Amino acid sequence: MKKLFKSKAIAILATLMMGTSASAFAHKVGIVDMQEIYQQIPQMAKVEQTLEAEFAERRQELEKLQGDIRFEAEKFKRESTTMSDKQKEALRTKIQDMQKNLAEKGRPLEQEIKTRQNQELAKIQKVIIEAIQAVAKDGKFDEVKVKDTTIYFNPKTVSDLSAKVVEKVSKQ
């Protein structure tokens, strides 16, 4: 009787353990390709347009200054043989001053553009993460990984959620 009881208890325990391990293997994993999402969502085009418009005037000013520098450099190249030393030095100084002015205006503009891009990207990233979480919850996923940081995944067992995330973010 004791032997029968022990064997039934072991059988029940083994069954329970198998059930636990089977549920451990039923871990539902999804993957997202962040680059693909960023490329496909309409919000990115809107950000580019907004930033382009915001900084267009200052960029045009710098482009004009670059054009002026090229013009003066070409002028120096063409006419230096007929210029006096005093004229050459004056033109060199003018070109150097223009280059210095370009650098003084260009660096802060680049920094400001990067800061604004980061601000706008942070807003979009928040929306994307919320969309990933919603898609994962709707699909009852246990885990979602980023494709770029994943060395290997089996496409038969891991679902790519990128298209669903793009669709959800695009509706916002």
pLDDT tens per residue across span 51-99: 999 999 999 999 999 999 999 999 989 988 898 999 989 999 999 999 9
- The H or E element that residue 32 is part of is strand 29-32
Q: What is the mean pLDDT of residues 127-156?
A: 90
Please say if the pLDDT value at position 101 is more than 90.
yes
Whole-number pLDDT of residue 119: 95
pLDDT at 157 over 90: no
Distance CA 57, CA 60 (A): 5
What does the alpha-carbon distance between residue 156 and residue 76 come to, in Å, rounded to a whole number?
67
Structural domains in the chain (count): 1
What was the pLDDT predicted at 21? 42
* Residue-level pLDDT at 153: 84
Model confidence pLDDT, tens digit, residues 8-62: 444 444 444 444 444 455 688 999 999 999 999 999 999 999 999 999 999 999 9
Whole-prediction pTM: 0.68
- Domain encompassing residue 149: 2-170
Q: What does the block give as tokens for 2?
A: 């004791």
β-bridge mates for residue 38, sequence order: none
Query: What 3-state class would DSSP assign to 17?
Result: helix
Phi, psi of 158 (to 5 degrees): -115, 125
Other beta carbons within 10 Å of 172: 10
CATH number at residue 106: 3.30.910.20
Tell me the pLDDT of the chain averaged across its residues: 85
